[in-house]
Chains A and B, each alone.
Chain A
Amino acid sequence: MLDHVCVFTKGGSLLWALSFVALKGDPINTLIRACLLEDRAAQSSFEYIIPSGGTYALKWSLNNGLGLVFVAVYQKALKLLYVDELLERLNRAFSTRYSPGCFEYPEFDATFQRLLKDCEQKAEAARRPSAPQLAPHQPNAQQRRAPGASSGSGEESSEEGDSDGTAFAPVTTNGKPAGSSADQSSDDAEAEGGAGAAANGAEFVPDLHKLKKLGKRAGPGGKTTRQHADRAEETKKKAAAPAKKGKQARVWGNIGGAAKEDGPLDFTDGDASQATITTADLNQRSLIDVEEDVSYDDEGTDEDEAGAEAAAATKKGGLLSSFVRTLGVNVVGTQALTRSDIEPALATLKKKLMERNVAEEIADKVTESVATSVEGRKLASFTRVSTAVQQAVEEALTRILTPKRSIDILREVKEAQAKGRPYSIVFVGVNGVGKSTNLAKVAYWLLQNGIKVMIAACDTFRSGAVEQLKTHCGRLQVPLYERGYEKDPAKVAFEAAKAAQRAGIDVLLVDTAGRMQDNEPLMRALSNLINLNQPDLVLFVGEALVGNDAVDQLTKFNQRLADLCPDPSQRHLIDGIVLTKFDTIDDKVGAALSMVYTSGAPIMFVGCGQTYVDLKKLNVKSVVKSLLK
């Protein structure tokens, strides 16, 4: 069972929501902030840990053309299989009803209930291993095999009609597509109606208008409507009440789709011939229902016309637009971008990102995320697809690189100062990336801002490490706390913090041994140091030169820090990144992106030279520019 389903705009207006169980915590906003806005939307689901216990799974579907987001929330333990399909159909059904100025859609409840029931039943049917369910898959809806009207395969044919819409576009004499299955963007209800009818009838059931006019002749076998009306009356009496209720909101679904509606009429387990007859009857009943209510008829016609227009547009636009599309220029300005339109531009961009030294894995994820945000968008006239994609990538890269955490360390230092305690920063990283050097640069910068600094030599592993710091401290005239080698670095740091407090120091900079991300004992020691001392800031020092390795380093550091922490509520991961040797890389600034995307931590400092003054902040704009130029 689902817990909650909702539709909202990217701007943040809730348009429609249905709760089956009151939501606990704030999963929707968390999804938006921690996933959709983090350019991780290419992943297919999101988990939300409920504060009071348990986990929600969230899935979503986007309509980029209209700027809509569809989200379903359910208990992760349930492993619902129909959610993806439900969201897709919800997307289609809601999108046709959406009008930008309107923020309330109470009438959509019924439509959704029907979609849900349908998807649930289909999922249920797929699970039950009875013979009719495994009935032959219909490769083409036009074959219209009569027995296919049982709920399982009838539905299948409708899906078929949806997915390869153009192959299934019967046009009635008045030029309208009968049942709008051909129109991909059309309301789900229509699609179903059309395909359901197709599955039923020996002759094709034309559009609603025609049915009304013909009145007496419709459906298989040429039976008169009157007869069917009588039978329908009977069936109706027998039918469960909820089914009737459900039907009211249905328009096209009334044609032939009724068999899917309710338990007692579900003949999926019966023999095929019986199923055919009964379904035919149900079919008729539905038509009568339509005749009874004119307003539904009108609505249906509207939608039908819309469908016809769209279909006509596709037909006309077909040749020209496919030609224009090959040029990569959108002239008409009304066609939504498809995956294949943007694929070439994405490939180029991915290549460019990788040339700039972005790890392949990250380049993949970013382009994929961009794809999900561009697909379905409508381009302005005379816009190149590649321009649109480029712009979307630029926006995404800016978002990714923009810190979501304050990187104003001085302010945090002043806050700690006001509380009368030293602010501590631990520098971690693999060997030889310039930890000590950049630590000294940070010390210099802090000193320049009138802050009292102390350095703790917690690299008790590599010989010469302490001496190296001594030299820096001498030059900077900064006190050094050291206990030589072979000591437990966690304890040294702890004592250093106490010493700093006594000496009235503002900031304690802790140097640690360089370690490879796979070195288990050293990773344990680091985790220990962090857990024992609870520093204010853990900075990962990484070279701007690294390519694919940056991802592995950061992932593993974070992973080990998380795993080795005894108390999950206290766990302290990497807060920020110091990017070193930035002056040596030219325009290959990709590591910045790889590191930030992997860890979610911002780049706090950039080391760009040999002297103490060569410490800077990252300029997001210029990095994005270098990545894309």
Chain B
Amino acid sequence: MAEQVAEALGSATTMTMLVVLAATLLVFALLKVWLSGSKGNTVLLVGPCDAGKTTLLHQLCDGSTHLGSVASMVPTEADGQLASEKAGGATSARPVQLVDIPGHPRVRGQVERYAGRAAGVVFVVDSVDFMPRKTEAAEQLFEVLSAPALARRRVPLLLACNKQDMGSKAHTVDFIRKRLEKELDQMRSTRGALGDVGGGSGGGKAAQLGLPGEPFTFESHARSRGVRVTTATLSAVDKGGVAEVEAFIRKSVPA
């Protein structure tokens, strides 16, 4: 009997020691991730369906859109040199990992899986078909901006307005930015007005957007939350159309 108790105690102490050890290791690992912050080399491509993320991925990686694309079902991870740098002979540049996350509402939550190691986020929207789907785009942008793992590490975001090759059919970057700011402003008051059943167990508290007192703008968000949000024109189907996105990627993942 006593022996059993002793044994139980013994195993309990071993357990405690193990737990402590594991905890220290975990703390170190976390610290490392935390401190290295934007030192990771992963850049996420997110945005609604048909925005052109997969097309952009191919253009960035291979300098070609190949045969084209269909709706994505799973995220694609691509590691390597940017095509333009490869062509330019800058092979010493730091490799980049790009992750194309499908826009379908049922799977776009996978962003969470990659958020922890993201050094930058490219949010792609379709400038041509923007108006009918602006709410969908805004909702998704809201989710990305309020994702704790991104906000905490102040991961910069680029709003890339794609399909700018379509001339007057495409809305301007400024127009799109303003519409999205307005939508986001409204969503701040409507989202999260209802609690969850089962208790909020979703990877930490959602981050706030902008300053509560003033209307939401990317500028005020950057000022108050320290998350750099910039805009860019994009034409994923053209080799020359991805320059601004490439510049953003290089800024997020220094060579």
Contacts and interface: CB of A to CB of B under 8 A. Distances in A.
B201 interface: yes
A103 B58 CA distance: 10
B71 A403 contact: no
Contacts of B49: 33
A11 B135 CA distance: 25
Nearest to B105: A404
B196 A402 contact: no
A398 interface: yes
B126 interface: no
Interface string B105-145: 11101000000000000000000000000011001000000
B204 interface: no
Contacts of A414: 186, 190
Interface residues of B, number: 42
Nearest to B194: A617
Interface in B67-114: 67-76, 100, 102, 104-107, 109
Contact of B197 (A16, A103, A449, A606): A606
A463 interface: no
B100 A11 contact: yes
B107 A17 contact: no
A29 B71 contact: yes
Contacts of A17: 67
Given A399-B107, A410-B190, A606-B197, A10 B67 contact: no
Contacts of B50: 29
A29 B103 CA distance: 12
A408 interface: yes
B73 A32 contact: yes
A622 interface: yes
A104 B66 contact: yes
A622 B197 contact: yes
Interface in A573-629: 582, 605-606, 608, 615-619, 621-623, 625-626
Given A411-B135, A622-B201, A14 B70 contact: yes
Interface string A10-48: 111111110000000000110011001110000000000
Interface size class of A (residues with CB under 8 A): 35 or more
B139 A10 contact: no
Contacts of B74: 10-11, 67
Contacts of A10: 72-74
A605 B196 CA distance: 9
A315 to B, nearest CB: 34
A64 B55 CA distance: 23
A29 B104 CA distance: 11
Contacts of A14: 66-70
B191 interface: yes
B222 interface: no
B67 A104 contact: yes
A400 B194 CA distance: 21
B194 A12 contact: no
B213 interface: no
Interface string A92-121: 000000000001100000000000000000
Interface string A376-418: 0000000000000000000000111011111010110010000
A297 B199 CA distance: 65
A616 B196 contact: yes
Contacts of A402: 105-106, 109
Nearest to A13: B69
A8 interface: yes
Interface string B143-160: 000000000000000000
B100 A12 contact: yes
Contact of B54 (A12, A398, A406): A12
Q: Is the interface of A mostly helix, strand, loop or mixed?
A: mixed
B69 A619 contact: no
A621 B106 contact: no
Contacts of A399: 106-107
B70 A403 contact: no
B71 A33 contact: yes
A570 to B, nearest CB: 19
B104 A103 contact: no
Nearest to A442: B194
A449 B73 contact: no
A254 to B, nearest CB: 29
A93 to B, nearest CB: 18
Contact of B196 (A12, A13, A617): A617
Given A11-B72, A617-B197, A37 B107 contact: yes
A623 B70 CA distance: 31
B197 A619 contact: yes
A621 to B, nearest CB: 6
B106 to A, nearest CB: 4
A445 interface: yes
B1 interface: no
A36 B199 CA distance: 31
19 contacts: A11-B54, A11-B72, A12-B72, A12-B73, A12-B76, A13-B76, A29-B70, A29-B71, A38-B106, A103-B66, A404-B106, A445-B194, A605-B194, A616-B196, A617-B196, A618-B196, A619-B199, A619-B202, A622-B201
Given A9-B76, A616-B197, A621-B201, 13 more contacts: A6-B70, A12-B70, A14-B68, A33-B71, A33-B104, A37-B73, A403-B105, A404-B104, A410-B189, A411-B135, A605-B194, A615-B194, A617-B195
